[in-house]
Every structure is written in structure tokens, then in C-alpha cells.
Structure 1
């Protein structure tokens, strides 16, 4: 007969509710700060909705009115140096973190927000929401992307759940930076990070992946769920089996609390307990604050206007307003009078109104006296691409291709392991993470061999959670203290983490106005020909080349790999470093006893000079192009190894000089035609050099289908030497040589 034994969890999930004793014990200074901050947020948001109603907010205005208690109560339990990030509905958290940073000793009802620094903070925040150059990100981020790194505001995020993995990166840095003061692993000076998200994001894969990763690595990361019950118009009970979202924490081993988000003191007490738990080195925490947004997903109308909420429900929640709750408790304790409250609101309103009046003016084209933004406050359109990448600054000797130092032979994969070891030895900020990088004698190909033994705390074997560990790498790099090297075992896996790679890492620096670099190096291999089929074989260069922010390097020799990896780690931009399985066993000459040289950014290599056709290629196809050139001696080919593939780094000087000489172009790549890198490159070449071309740009690619498992079908799908020779034949045909 079978038996059933209830399972218990390794940690607790509790509900925290305040009593009158808690309110009586609360420090008057704490309650004053709560009151001032919440009214500042409320009035600020009311003004934003007014501006949105006038058409002055470009795009959505996601109001946080009703949710002020959750943000303010939480932030007041943090230190200045603690980090927070949030979602598209993040004005309240951003304002609370900024106000707490500017007023570390608290805020008083007497002073309100009259301080010049606070006024400037409000001005810069409003300017950013309106898309103006005085904003924190120069207007590039707007309402949904607010960042002030100095204050610990790491950035709000428009992708649901998108900011959660980034917060894990900041938390890992805090744990790694902390000084362990006793044998238990506790670090009392440890910083903590709070990532705010809603009930909708609690169902997102990247969020759940980060739950697991943060718990496994004991990160000082608090997952703060603002459960306002509605994801746009869908009630949490319609899409979640158990709407008590805090109950998810123990399943991941995360200590969790559930609180009334309309009670700022309850939120404060829960956050304080969570902070104590994390600073003691006991790992991640989760707080669910049940709260309510008074208005629709965005804009100045209540949810009832759209039919998914009743007016009765909205009234029930408004009757529990967190601003009223704090004021009533303070009045009960004789810490506040009604006149003082009204005076405080009037003074805050006056400050914010004055800020708006400095930004707007009467629209001369309006007969009704409408307002407009002062034209001089808009960003200069000519700066539209500024901040996308940083100017490269290399930190070591640049080795020119003409240099001829003493050399030794090394396998390609050994050169990878050698340079990674060297960089970790010389730069304590280099961190390597990915699946199995700490096992199997250096991962699945041996590229990280020996590193876990030498640098045990900086080589991180991750869960199979591409969104979580890619985002962690992005968040880690944004600290300015670390340079993560993130390995994706196969390039196809990059699409699992596409949000983090393209929406977050690639866009973050430009989106936040260049407030921080994004020095992420992403290693991935192209496994065409290895028999791994459709989901483990692709070349991602064509996709990355069409996405903003990324640099792409594609080394074809061991010497180039070392120099390009060193250069990639010097840059403050995200860099994709491509490797091909066919090259791992190839031997090549590298400088003897020198693993510190750099290769220049944006410099291609001419592997063979010629007069008749310019052949452009990269990775393993460079060697096939050279073989084809030798076999077709009647067609004098100039073979160029591109090395740098991204739009900003292509060596147009070398490419252009060659095309001007040969007047013919053949682009050679191995991968599928649908994701072809050469398609983009051919378009750009014909726009730049059309007058030099004597025939259409010829291309060698694989077929449309992704490679199959069948050895025969895989060979047919991928371009090989025969296909390259066919490409040479096509060029020759147009020249009348065949």
C-alpha cells in the first residue's frame, strides 16, 4: 500500500499585517518621510496625467496613482547604495529612490520639496517623461525607461519581466563585492537589489528563470511583486492557478512575505525583514504587495471606463488609499494636523507646477490657449544615433598585420583558453558564465579549461536559463566594475534569450542616454557540419548585424582570436564573438609568449591580393575562399577576411579600395540564405560602390532550410567548397572567362 507524506519547504512564506502597536512604535521621522514622498509622487503623477490629457506626453503615461505606498514603504527600508529597477509603471519607485537618495536623513512636512536639489530632480524626471534633452537620458528613455545610477535607480523597463534578470547582475556584483566578515558567509556591508514587477510579469519565463538562479546562488535580490490584480484588463485570477503570488517563492527556496500594499508601514516592515535576511547572506527574498492602480493601464481614465472593472470595486480600493492611511495614523498620534497636510500638498503642487511652467508655454498656433513644450527644450535631431556605441579605447599594444614577431603554433581552441586565462589573471573584473563552462574540462569544447580551478568565484556554471544568465551578464556590466564573458553553447540558443540580447543589452546604453557602458562579451559557436541539426547549427551574424548596439567579430585564425578577444574586452560595447567548430582543431601561428596584444577595431585582413574580383568572407569560409582562389587561377581573386561584421566596425576603406580595383564582388558565407549576413552587406555595397561594379554582386550562401541531421541533407544545406567554386564560376561567366 502506497503512502503519502506532505512535503515541507526549505523556507517560509508568511503574511504580514500591521496593528495599532506597529503604528504607535513607528518613528515620527519615518512617517513624515512616507507622507511627503507619497504626496510628492501622487501630485507628480496627477500632473503627468494632466499633461497626457493635453497631448504633451508622447506615448503612454502609465500612472502609479494608488500604488505609492508599495514603492515608498519599500524604498525607505533601503540604503542609498542599494539598487532598484522596475517596469514600465515605475515613476513612483524612481521618485521614491531619488528622494531617498537626496534626503538620506528623511523628509519633513515643514521642508517638503523646496530644496533646490529636489526641484532639479523633479525637473529632470519630468523632462525625461516628456522626452526632453534635460532629462536623465536626454529624452531617449521617456516615461518607461528611467535611470539615475548615482541614486541606485538602475533603470525601469518597458518589456514585461525584462528588467528582472538585469537586477540579478547587480545583485551578483553586490554579493561578490561584499567583505565576508565571519565563517558563516555573512557580509553585513552587503548591498541589496530590489526588482519591482507586477502580477503579469510573475508569469514570464525570464522572471521565473531568475527566481531559480538567484536562489541557487544566494543573491541579495528581492523580487517585489506589485500585485495590482490586473495585467492591462486581465484579472490575475483568470490566468494564475493560485493568485497568492508570494506562494511561489518557497518552491524556489526563496523566503517570502505577503503584505497589504495599501499599508505603507506593512510594506516597510516586510522590506526591512527581507533586507536583514539578504544582508546576512541568506539569499534572495520575495515580497508580494497587493495594491491597486486607480487608472487604466495608461492614460487619465479609470479601468471602469473600459468595462473590465466596476465603479464599486474602484471605490472600495480608493477608500483604502495609502496616503489617507498614513495621514490618519499621524493625526491620531498628533504628529500632523489637517491644515499642515493641506499646506504640504499646496507647497508640493506649487513646486511641480512651477517646474511644468518652465517647460511649457502657450501655443501660438492654438486659438484655445493650449500649451506646448518650449521648442528649445527638445533634443537636437542630429544626435539621434549618439550614444549607441562608445568610441573604442584599447588598453594594450595594437599588433598590426604587417608585424612579424617570433611565433609558435597553437590550436584555435587552445588559443581561446589561453587568452581567457590571461584576461582573468590580469583583470579581476572579468567573469565567465554559461552552461557547463565549469565542468567537462572546459565546457563542451574545452575553451574554458582550467579556469574554474584558478578563479573559482568568477567562473559561473549556470542553469539552463538563457534569459536569466544573459540578463545577469547585462546587469553585471552596467555596474561599471565587471566585464562578463557569456558563453552560449550553440548560436541557436541566442533566440531563447532574444529579449535580453536585443531589447536589453543591445539597446540599453543608447536608451538610457549613455549613462553607463555595456561591456558584455558574448561567445557563441557556429556548428554547421557537426551533425547537430536545425536547432544547433546556425550562423547568427546576419541577425545581429541588423540589431542596434552590437559589435560582431568573427576570427578565422588563432592569432586573430587572441587579438580580437583582447580588443573586445577593452570596449564598453556589447560584442558578439563568433567561433566555428571547424576551426577549433586548426593550428595556426600566434606570437610567442604574448597574449596581451590587441587587433585594431574595424580592420579587415587581406589574405590574398588580386585584380579580378573582391571576395569577402569570415570564419571558416575564408580558408575555403582561398582554396577556391588557388583552383581558379584564371580568376585573380582578392580575398578579404572581414573579421569585424557590424555596421559600425566594417572596414570600408579596405573593402572600397579593393572594389575600386577589381570592380567585382563575391560574398562567401556558409549559413542559410534566409538569415544571410551577405544580404545586408550586398545592399550596403551597391549603395556605396554602385558606379564601380561591372556585374551584380554575387553571393555564396547555404540553402533556405536550416541544416538537417542527415549527413547528406546537412551537406546540401550548407555552403561548401563546391558552392564557393560555383560562385567563382558565376563571376567568371559575367567576365566572359567561362
Structure 2
């Protein structure tokens, strides 16, 4: 007969509630700081809702009124060096972290917020929420994307669960910093807190990151603000276990559940979690049960939309965190009602003064309405500035002919060689991805030998593309690390699309150009390898149409080394494409030289000609050269683009060739629907229409993604015959047979 034995989990989940003794023992300075911070947040957000009601907040105003205690109690248990990030509803956490950073000795009820630095902080935060140039990100981030890196405010995030993997990157950096320089972390390693709501607790990126953080023992606290509603959907409607702290032990994460309307309970739970993490014991989780008094956004309560009752809202308002702290302070003789009223009046005056500097009477209004002062708006001409860095490359550029000797090397070995060299020279370079630490260098051998040489900087990840891509983004934002991320197949990039496109690609511009993002993604195009529809695609066309990314496509071992070196110097995210057909090819590289670069934004002319300009990349360079030799009558000029993104494309070389040949053929192997050549041909005809003797011709694969069948796969992908057919079409349009 079978037996049933309850499983013992590796860690526990504790419910923490305060008693009168806890409040009596709480330091007076701590309670004063709590009250001042919460009052400042409440008054500030009431002003934001007033401005929203007047139509002066462009976009949503996600207030956290009611949730102040959950943020303030948590942040006061942290140090200035600790990092936090949050969600679209993150005003309270951002304000709390900024105030704690500016006033590390605490805040007093009598003094309130009187320093010039605090006044400037309030003004810059209000300016950012209103989209003004004085804001922390120049108005680009607004209410949902607040960042102040100096204060450890890593950035709030409009994608539900989107910031959680980024926080893991900051936590990994903190742990690694403590390990390599323990003398600099005598008080324990720094920690990171990622704040998110009940809705994000069910998001894949959050759960992936919990698993990764637990496995790697990261000093990362998953802080769930459970306000019961994801917009209007109650937590009990979407999960079988509404006690969200129970998520933690399933991943091996020590967890606490607290009353989020009790700031002292939050503080004590966060204090315990911080002590656990600083000691190197790994990740933690806190669930704070709290309540937002207003709807998802705007100045109306949830009851106005029918999904909450007024009775429920009153019950929660009766447990207001500001009233709780003020009441306990009055009971202990630490506060009078007059002092509390004076504090509210002083902070109200400060916030009102900031609003008065930003607004003025609208001269076109007959009802005395306000408007934003026109001089405070950002310059519309700067709308595209800061998408990518503009620093020049400083490395040594290798010319087309090497000055020294050469040695023959396989393409895949050149990858491992240059990564080894960069890791040896720069302790900030690390490599991560699935199986890269096994199989003698991953599934293709591109990371051969790296794990043995750099055991702490070669990270074999779980199969969690969102988590490890976001972790790389968070590492990059520290300004100290340059992660090289291997995606085993390019199709897997789509599993991590939120982190790649919404987070990494947009971060620099969204946060006003302040967030460095030197992430290098390596991924292979596996067309022709028989891996079918979900392991074969060429992602160049998709990346070229998303902001922020640079794209390089090496076609030889020599090119790979120079382009990877350039990619790792850039302060931007770079996609480095590799093709399986190229891994085994051999080519000449400079002997004893792995430090050269190829110039940013410079294509290579592989064959001179005057009849037709052929634009191509990766494995199709060699195939295009073969086709050109078979059609000498067309005298093709074959250009290996090398850099594929909009900002880096070599328009000088492309334009000179088109003005000479007056004909263009774009050659790529991939599917027509995700074609790189689609946007490229559009741009060419806009720039060089008057020089073209015929429509731009294109060679692509078919509409279908490649199939497993060898015959169908060959039919789906472009090959030499398709390129020759493209040459034939060019000839026909020129009146030749």
C-alpha cells in the first residue's frame, strides 16, 4: 500500500503583526520620519490628482494614496546604497527613497521638508510627472518611469512585472561586488527591493526571476503590495491562493506576510529581510496587504466604477496608515495635534509652491483655469535624442589589410577567443545563457573554456529568457558590468520580448539618456539546420524596427572579432547575429591580435562593380558573391552591410554605390514577413529615388517559417538559385535576357 508523507519546505512563511510593545519600543526618530514621509507623499499625490482633474497630467495618474505605509516602512529599513525599483504605481516608493537618501539622519515633525535639496527633489518629481524638461528624465518618463540612480531609485516601470528581472541584475551586481571586494562591504552586501502588485505576482517574468534569484542566492527582496485589485479584478478571482506570500517557499524564498496599513509592521518585516539578505542567505519575499483609495488612475474611488463598495472603502480608510502612526505618537507624547496640523500645512505650502512655479493662469480660459507654463516644456526638436549613445569608439581600428601576419581560425573559435580576451582585460564583462557553462562551450562551442577560466563570471542560467535577459539589463544599468547574453536560437528572443524591446531597448531614451545599457546579445540564425519553425528565424528585420538597438552581422572570423570588440565598447544594447552556416568556416585573423575593432557604421565592399548594388549580410554575402561571378554581365558591386540598425548603417557607401550603379538588389535568407530588406528598400527609395533605373529588387525566403522537412525547409529559405533569380529580374528590367 502506498504511503503519503507531507513535504517539508526548505524555508518558511511568517505572518508578522505588531503589538503595543512594538510601538512603545519604536524609536521616536523612526516614527517621526515615517509620519513626515507619509504626509509628504499624501499631500504630493493629492496635488497630482488635482492637476489630473484639471487635465494637466498628460496620461494616467496612478496614485498610491492609502499605500504610503507599505512604501515608507519598507524604505526606512534600507540604506542609501540599496536599490529599489517599482511599477506604474510607484510615486510613493520613489518619494520615500529620495527623501531617505537626502535625509539619512531622519526627518522631524517640527522641521518637515525645509531644505533646498528636498524642495528641488519635490519640484523635479512633479515636473517629471507632468512631462517637463526639469524632471529627472526631462519629461520622457513621466508618472510611470521615475528614476534617480544617485538615490538608488532604479526606475519605475509601466509593464506589469517588467521591472522585476531588472532588479535581479542590480542584486547580482551587489552580491558580486561584495564577493570580489569584501573589505568594501564590511556592513554586509547591498540589497535590492523590487516592488510590484498582486497582478504581477502571476506574471511569468516575476516567477522566473524568483526561481533565478533563489537559485543564485541574490540579495533581492520581492515586495508584493497586495492592494487586492489588478485594475478592477479581485485577487481571489485570479489565483487559488490569495495569500501571495505563499509564493515564496515554493521557490525556496524566506517570506513574510504583514499588514501594509501598519508601517511599523512593514518596517520590522523589511528589517528582518534585509538582515537575512545582507548575511548572504539569499532572496526574500514580503507581502504587504494594503489598499489604494482611488481607482486604477485618476481622482475617483473604485466604487464609482462599480467594482468596490463604499463600505469596503470606508473599512480600509478607517485603518489609514498616517492616522495609525500619528495616533501612536500622540499616545506616547511624541506629537500633538497642533504639530501634526502644522506639518500638513508646511508640506502643503511646499507642494503648492512647486505647482505654482509650474503653472499659470490660462489666458484663453474664461473660468480661471490653469495651464503649464509654456517655457517649461521640453524642446520638441530633441524628441529622438538619446535613443543611443553618441560616444565615438576609441579602440584601434584594423584596416582591410593587416600589418602583421595572419593565422587560420574557425568562425566559432574566433567567438570564444575574443570573449576570452575581453573577459581577461575587463572584469566587468560577463557571459550568461542556457548551457553555456556545459557541453564544452554551449551547444555550438562558442563559449569554450570560459567557465574554467572565469568561474564567477560565466553564468549558466535556467530556461528563463525573460529573467536572464532582464537581469542583464539590470546589470548594465549599474554602469559597472557589460553582460554578453547568449540566446541559443533567435526565436527564443521573442520569449523575452518585453525585456528586450520594452525594457533594454527603450531604457536610455525613456529615462532621459541617464541609463547606460551596454548589453550584448549573441544569437544564431539556424536556417538550414532542420530545427523547424521555432528555431530558425533571422530577427534582423524586427530589431531594425524597434528603437534603441544596434545590430551587427559578421560574415567572417576576422569580422567577428572586430565587431564584437566594437560592440563591447559601445554603451548601447547590441544584437550580434551569428549564422550556423558560418560556425565551421575558416578564415584568416591577425596573428596574436584580438584587440582590434572594425569601425562603427562602416560596411565592407566585397566586390567592386558598376552594374548593380547588392546589399547583403551574414551567410548570404558569400552566396551573393557566387551569384555575381556567375553573372559577370551585370557587374555587381557586393556590399557586406555589417552594421544593420538605422543609426549605424553605412549610407555613405550605399549611396555612392547606388549613384554609380543605379540598380539595387537586397539579398537575405529569411522569411518575407519579418524581412530586414522591407524597411531598407523603403529608406533607399526615399533617399535615392532619382538615381534608380528600376524598382528595388529583393531576394527573401518565403512567407512561411521553415519546416522540419528538408525539402520544405529548402523551399522556405532563399539560396543561390533565388539570388540568381534576383539577378535575372534585374537584367530583365534593364532589357537584357
Query: 1:735 Cα deviation (Å)?
Result: 1.2
Aligned to 2:12: 12
Distance 1:696 1:219 in 2: 56
Aligned to 1:168: 168
Query: 1:736 Cα deviation (Å)?
Result: 1.7
Aligned to 1:45: 45
Aligned to 1:734: 733
Deviations 1:103-161 (A, max 9, x none): 00000011101110000000000000000000000000000000000000000000000
Q: Does 1:323 align with 2:322?
A: yes
Aligned to 1:291: 290
Aligned to 2:252: 253
Distance 1:392 1:708 in 2: 43
Aligned to 2:527: 528
8 Å Cα contact 1:66/1:292 also seen in 2? yes
8 Å Cα contact 1:392/1:601 also seen in 2? no
Aligned to 1:74: 74
SS of the counterpart of 2:94? Answer: helix
SS of the counterpart of 2:15? Answer: strand
SS of the counterpart of 2:505? Answer: helix
Query: 1:405 Cα deviation (Å)?
Result: 3.2
Distance 2:530 2:514 in 1: 44
Query: 1:402 Cα deviation (Å)?
Result: 4.5
Deviations 1:636-671 (A, max 9, x none): 000000000000000000000000000000000000
Distance 1:240 1:349 in 2: 40
Distance 1:182 1:673 in 2: 54
Aligned to 1:498: 497
8 Å Cα contact 2:188/2:279 also seen in 1? no
Q: Does 1:194 align with 2:193?
A: yes
Query: 1:201 Cα deviation (Å)?
Result: 0.3
Aligned residues: 736
Query: 1:404 Cα deviation (Å)?
Result: 4.4
Query: 1:401 Cα deviation (Å)?
Result: 2.2
Distance 1:465 1:348 in 2: 45
Distance 1:391 1:305 in 2: 49
Deviations 1:475-533 (A, max 9, x none): 00000000000110000000000000000000001000011210000000000000000
Alignment map for 1:146-185 (pairs within 5 Å)? 146-179=146-179
Q: Does 1:563 align with 2:562?
A: yes
Aligned to 2:427: 428
Distance 1:159 1:555 in 2: 34
SS of the counterpart of 2:634? Answer: coil
Deviations 1:301-342 (A, max 9, x none): 000000000000000000000000000000000000000000
8 Å Cα contact 1:179/1:187 also seen in 2? no
Deviations 1:390-429 (A, max 9, x none): 1133242111225443211110000000000000000000
Aligned to 1:369: 368
8 Å Cα contact 1:181/1:188 also seen in 2? no
Deviations 1:85-107 (A, max 9, x none): 00000000000000000000000
Distance 2:729 2:173 in 1: 55
Aligned to 2:688: 689
Aligned to 1:441: 440
Distance 2:87 2:515 in 1: 19
8 Å Cα contact 2:433/2:459 also seen in 1? yes
Distance 1:14 1:488 in 2: 38
SS of the counterpart of 2:159? Answer: coil
Aligned to 1:310: 309
Distance 2:260 2:212 in 1: 27
Distance 1:165 1:648 in 2: 28
Alignment map for 1:466-485 (pairs within 5 Å)? 466-485=465-484
Aligned to 1:26: 26
Alignment map for 1:619-658 (pairs within 5 Å)? 619-658=618-657
Distance 2:182 2:37 in 1: 38
SS of the counterpart of 2:527? Answer: coil
Unaligned runs of 5+ in 1: none
Aligned to 1:592: 591
Q: Does 1:56 align with 2:60?
A: no
Distance 1:527 1:338 in 2: 71
Instruction: Point out 4+ residue stretches in structure 1 off by more than 4 angstroms.
Output: 179-183
Distance 2:358 2:676 in 1: 45
Aligned to 2:128: 128
Distance 1:452 1:392 in 2: 32
TM-score, length basis structure 1: 0.99
8 Å Cα contact 1:147/1:153 also seen in 2? yes
Select between 392-401 and 96-105 the one with higher mean Cα deviation. Answer: 392-401
Aligned to 1:84: 84
Q: Does 1:223 align with 2:189?
A: no
SS of the counterpart of 1:325? Answer: helix
Distance 1:303 1:589 in 2: 68
SS of the counterpart of 1:523? Answer: strand
Unaligned runs of 5+ in 2: none
Query: 1:221 Cα deviation (Å)?
Result: 0.1
The alignment yields a C-alpha RMSD, in angstroms, of 1.0
SS of the counterpart of 1:241? Answer: coil
